[in-house]
Structure 1
Amino acid sequence: MAVSSASEVPVIMRGESYEDCVEKIRKIYGRDYYIIKKEEVAPEGLFGFLKRKQYAVTYAVIPPSVQRTASSSAAVSSAMDFAEEKRKILEANKNFSNPQMKLVLDEIRSLRRDLDEKTAAVQNDEHPTIVRLEELLRKNEFTPTYIKNISDKIRKEYSLDDLNDFDTVQKTVVDWIGQSIRIADTVYLSSPQVIVLVGPTGVGKTTSVAKLAARYIVDRGTVDATVQRVRIITTDSYRIGGKEQLETYGGVMHIPVSMAESTDDMQKLLKLYSKDVDVILVDTTGHSPKDYEGLAKMRKVLDFKGIQTQVFLTVSASTKVSDLRIIMQQYEIFGYDALIVTKMDETDCIGSIISIVDEKNKALAYFTTGQRVPRDIEKANPVRMLIQLSDFKIDREHIDRKFSSQSLG
């Protein structure tokens, strides 16, 4: 970097840190300078994005005439911080009579405005393809950790030349998102098949139980002769109208609905149904993840004493990331196998669900997309989530083919 004379425009000093930059400037000018801007920047060069970030300090040298004036004033004492020093120097010279000094100060102000406008570009020396894809991921509400993992993978897999082909990289990113979505195996060979839905209030557990019941007894509008013996048990004695709602659904489908308010009630019903029932669906009371006492009581009721079960945590697709993490953590006491994601039709941003399920290494079992029983439920599959991504260009034929083994069953 060339050393600037007092009459030149401000210059930039780069270093490993802000302190490193200041030390380099002081070795050349002592304290006869003032700092205009400091910022974190990407290293220079073709492969700068692979190196550690650096700092850049934009500064100007105080002309000798100003140095003499300042040296006789307490304004530039060693105790003054850099920001105050800069302000006072500019203030002292705003009406400076020297035409050359006025030009220098005007140039400084102009450069400052230009630097402010270009800060984003200076700070981010990332390839435009990566920047654009990160913006798409953020728009779909993927978590910062998930986005970073995708970006790191892009840098690892693609050369600089290959990054210029945005459509190809985007197609690969969509594939990676799909591959991060684990799908639960809902085939259950024991008899009876006991399926338990747990989750917070208001996510649609009761309606989901009715939809699952309908799936087992109805196949494309006709009764499936292979599975007809279905029973529903509810533990929800708190919600007004909860049992009545299930009984209404059960009545339409000719499925008995029973109430279990204690561990003994549950054991008696399971024993009653164990020999002549194919599927037992258990609806549970909704509890806030912070209702530790309520969760503990429900866990006791759901002590099946050696009976093998499938437990599905039911969550809404629109649940925000922080709440989703807490819910999944607190409901771990039920040993849930996978998630049922409800209300998929009520949000355009499913990145939070994909991110946290991947983060927690959990699988997806079913999606629900409305209130209609039995229609608005489907087996979870990556394609359904990928086509819901906003502003991504989705090659439907490609993802159908790639994820065909995990398609709707």
Structure 2
Amino acid sequence: MALNIPELPPMVMRGDSLEDCIKKLRSIYGSDFRIIRREEKAPDGFFGLFKKKHYEVTYALLQPEPRKNPLVPAAFDFEKEKRKFLEANGGGNPQMKLILDELHELNRSLDEKTSALCPEEPAAIVRIRELLRKNEFTPSYIQKIVDKIRKDCSLEELDDFNFVQKAVVDWIGETIRTVKTEYLSYPQVIVLVGPTGVGKTTSVAKLAAKYAALTAKGSAGGKRVRIITIDTYRIGAKQQLETYGELMDIPVSLAESADDMQKLLTMYSKDVDIILVDTTGRSPKDYEGLAKMRNILDLKKLPTRVFLTVSASTKASDLRTVMQQYEIFGYESLIVTKMDETDCLGSIISIMDEKNKAAAYFTDGQRVPSDIVKATQVRMLIQLADFKIDREHIDRKFSPEGAE
């Protein structure tokens, strides 16, 4: 059954902008009003020639009914009731305090979400929110984009959804950071870390083949490459790499300890350009395993780059945990695998932006070495679901110079 909330006669609020009018209304009435009409008004008459335009919002006040939820009455003072409850129950139970705080936070979150759905939100913003949600961007990322729309788009521009959509695609692209993967000095150690099942070993093989085939300036041949694995946990891990190594004529060695690793690096550093290190897949909650692996990878003498390998289909909360826990390895950027297994890249874009991390490579298949490419903003943008992408425009805006 629809709720019939009575309205008072219409009134008008004036301001410098639509946002200014709404801000004034909320400061006076909270959410107890409904917008009927919004207009941009030109100055009246000849003497208005040098005056600024202003905005008028015609609105009606609502007469809110008493809140019927007995758990959250209209005049509910949460902190006051919390103190009374704790005093009546001994006052020192930390679990009860935690539960009450969580209830308070939940109530605040619901209020924010309800406010976000106010009827005055322009249709373009509503549509953009839905597109971003469909692509699984995080709520905080979506809010950042919506805030930018409100700040940068005029009322006329908000009426042109194609304009707003194109601007949003540009803004998303600007939040995607990539890194250069060229090297100025050799030997170079490249270490891949990450959780189980994301495709580290296959990515190591792809990079090995890529560098072995890469023609150096002034040289007819590719880079001299070696592979080291420290994965003694997964059955067949070394054998899998050795199979790739035989096909590419690249030696593969096993390091079971920090001493083994240092000996191999010392041996290879004299006549090798690229040393690729494959590691054991570890859950971000396996703190002991991560610490042991960090000890083996404590490489001090040679230039080292660490890449965190993650799957493109990882949900945002898990991705946030992985990126946080793997910080102990000092990774500088990501290799995003399995790009062909999802249409929703919002999670990876959101958390990369949240953690201020860049992407180095994308992989999208099992073929060695072909299914690996340098990370670009364009590749992520063209994979956005249901967005209308101006490919010529984003190629011109984001295509990097000298891409590998």
Q: TM-score, normalised by structure 2?
A: 0.74
1:182 aligns with 2:174: no
* Aligned counterpart, 1:239: 234
Aligned 8 A contact 1:266 1:301 in 2: yes
Mapping 1:319-334, distance limit 5 Å: 319-334=314-329
Aligned 8 A contact 2:214 2:221 in 1: no
Q: Distance in 1 between matches of 2:205 and 2:240?
A: 10
Q: Distance in 2 between matches of 1:217 and 1:366?
A: 17
> Which of these residues, 342, 349, 353, is aligned with residue 344 of structure 2?
349
> Which of these residues, 372, 376, 380, is aligned with residue 371 of structure 2?
376
Q: Against the structure 1 CA distance between its residues 311 and 50, is the aligned structure 2 distance closer, same or farther, given a 3 Å change threshold?
A: farther
Q: CA deviation at 1:364?
A: 0.2
After superposition, what is the alpha-carbon deviation per residue over 1:36-64, rounded to whole angstroms, capped at 9, x for unaligned?
A: xxx7666676389999xx9944459xxxx
Q: Distance in 1 between matches of 2:69 and 2:199?
A: 57
**Matching residue's letter, 2:297:** L
* Aligned counterpart, 1:139: 134
Unpaired runs of 5+ residues, structure 1, are 1-8, 22-38, 61-80, 85-118
After superposition, what is the alpha-carbon deviation per residue over 1:2-60, rounded to whole angstroms, capped at 9, x for unaligned?
A: xxxxxxx9624799699x89xxxxxxxxxxxxxxxxx7666676389999xx9944459
Aligned 8 A contact 1:183 1:406 in 2: no
1:251 aligns with 2:246: yes
Aligned 8 A contact 2:377 2:399 in 1: no
Q: Against the structure 1 CA distance between its residues 329 and 47, is the aligned structure 2 distance closer, same or farther, given a 3 Å change threshold?
A: farther
Aligned 8 A contact 1:314 1:342 in 2: yes
**Matching residue's letter, 1:311:** V
> Which of these residues, 191, 200, 224, is aligned with residue 195 of structure 2?
200
Q: Against the structure 1 CA distance between its residues 44 and 385, is the aligned structure 2 distance closer, same or farther, given a 3 Å change threshold?
A: same
Q: CA deviation at 1:268?
A: 0.2
Q: Against the structure 1 CA distance between its residues 132 and 295, is the aligned structure 2 distance closer, same or farther, given a 3 Å change threshold?
A: same
Q: Against the structure 1 CA distance between its residues 398 and 56, is the aligned structure 2 distance closer, same or farther, given a 3 Å change threshold?
A: same
> Which of these residues, 38, 43, 46, is aligned with residue 38 of structure 2?
46
Q: Against the structure 1 CA distance between its residues 16 and 253, is the aligned structure 2 distance closer, same or farther, given a 3 Å change threshold?
A: closer
Q: CA deviation at 1:305?
A: 2.2
* Aligned counterpart, 1:337: 332
After superposition, what is the alpha-carbon deviation per residue over 1:63-110, rounded to whole angstroms, capped at 9, x for unaligned?
A: xxxxxxxxxxxxxxxxxx9679xxxxxxxxxxxxxxxxxxxxxxxxxx
What's the % identity of the aligned pairs? 65
Q: Against the structure 1 CA distance between its residues 40 and 132, is the aligned structure 2 distance closer, same or farther, given a 3 Å change threshold?
A: farther
Mapping 1:88-107, distance limit 5 Å: none
Aligned 8 A contact 2:32 2:64 in 1: no
Mapping 1:109-124, distance limit 5 Å: 123-124=118-119
Q: CA deviation at 1:239?
A: 0.3
1:228 aligns with 2:228: no
Q: Distance in 2 between matches of 1:129 and 1:396?
A: 21
Aligned 8 A contact 1:41 1:122 in 2: no
After superposition, what is the alpha-carbon deviation per residue over 1:285-313, rounded to whole angstroms, capped at 9, x for unaligned?
A: 00000000000000000011232200000
Q: Against the structure 1 CA distance between its residues 56 and 202, is the aligned structure 2 distance closer, same or farther, given a 3 Å change threshold?
A: farther
SS of equivalent residue, structure 2 residue 250 = coil
What RMSD, in angstroms, separates the aligned Cα atoms of the two structures?
A: 3.2
Q: Distance in 2 between matches of 1:313 and 1:261?
A: 21
**Matching residue's letter, 2:38:** L
Q: Distance in 2 between matches of 1:289 and 1:345?
A: 24
- More off after superposition, 184-193 vs 272-281: 184-193
* Aligned counterpart, 1:309: 304
Q: Distance in 1 between matches of 2:353 and 2:260?
A: 37
**Matching residue's letter, 2:194:** G
Q: Distance in 2 between matches of 1:377 and 1:122?
A: 42
> Which of these residues, 364, 367, 372, is aligned with residue 362 of structure 2?
367
Unpaired runs of 5+ residues, structure 2, are 10-24, 41-54, 71-113
After superposition, what is the alpha-carbon deviation per residue over 1:235-278, rounded to whole angstroms, capped at 9, x for unaligned?
A: 00110000000000000000000001110000000000001000
Q: Distance in 1 between matches of 2:301 and 2:394?
A: 41
* Aligned counterpart, 2:90: none
Q: CA deviation at 1:142?
A: 0.6
Aligned 8 A contact 1:12 1:59 in 2: no
Q: Against the structure 1 CA distance between its residues 47 and 322, is the aligned structure 2 distance closer, same or farther, given a 3 Å change threshold?
A: farther
Q: Distance in 1 between matches of 2:321 and 2:39?
A: 40
Q: Distance in 1 between matches of 2:147 and 2:5?
A: 36
How many residues in Structure 1 have an aligned counterpart in Structure 2? 324
Q: Against the structure 1 CA distance between its residues 365 and 82, is the aligned structure 2 distance closer, same or farther, given a 3 Å change threshold?
A: closer
> Which of these residues, 149, 152, 177, is aligned with residue 147 of structure 2?
152
SS of equivalent residue, structure 1 residue 152 = helix
Q: Distance in 2 between matches of 1:396 and 1:162?
A: 21
Q: TM-score, normalised by structure 1?
A: 0.73
Q: CA deviation at 1:190?
A: 2.4
Q: Against the structure 1 CA distance between its residues 46 and 271, is the aligned structure 2 distance closer, same or farther, given a 3 Å change threshold?
A: same
Q: Against the structure 1 CA distance between its residues 295 and 228, is the aligned structure 2 distance closer, same or farther, given a 3 Å change threshold?
A: same
Aligned 8 A contact 2:35 2:119 in 1: no
Q: CA deviation at 1:186?
A: 1.1
Q: CA deviation at 1:401?
A: 1.1
Q: Distance in 1 between matches of 2:304 and 2:136?
A: 33
Q: Against the structure 1 CA distance between its residues 193 and 121, is the aligned structure 2 distance closer, same or farther, given a 3 Å change threshold?
A: closer
* Aligned counterpart, 1:265: 260
